[in-house]
Amino acid sequence: TATTQTDPKAATTTPATAARGTKPLGVNENPDMIGKRNINGGLIAKMSGSTEKEVRLGREAAAEVDRQAKFIEDPMITEYVNRVGQNIVLHSDAKVPFTIKVIDSDEVNAFALPGGFFYVNKGLLLAADNEAELAGVMAHEIAHVAARHAVENQTKASLLEYAALGASIFLGGIPGMIYQNTAGIGLLGIFMKFSRSAEEEADKLGVQYMYAAGYDPGAMATMFEKLEAKNKKKPGFISRAFASHPAPPDRRAAALALAARFPEHEEYVISSSEFQRVKARLLRLSNARASSSGAIQAGDDTGAPGRPTLKRRSPTPDDTTTTTPEGEQKPTEQQAPPKLKRNDGSTTKPPDKP
CB 284 within 8 A of CB 299: yes
Round to whole Å and give the CA distance between 81 and 26: 31
Catalytic residues: 141, 203
| Closest to 235 measured CA to CA, from 247, 223, 227 | 227
* Alpha carbon distances (Å) from 86 to 34, 79, 173, 308: 15, 10, 50, 18
Backbone angles phi, psi at 248, to 5 degrees: -65, 170
Cβ neighbours of residue 68 closer than 8 Å, sequence gap 6 or more: none
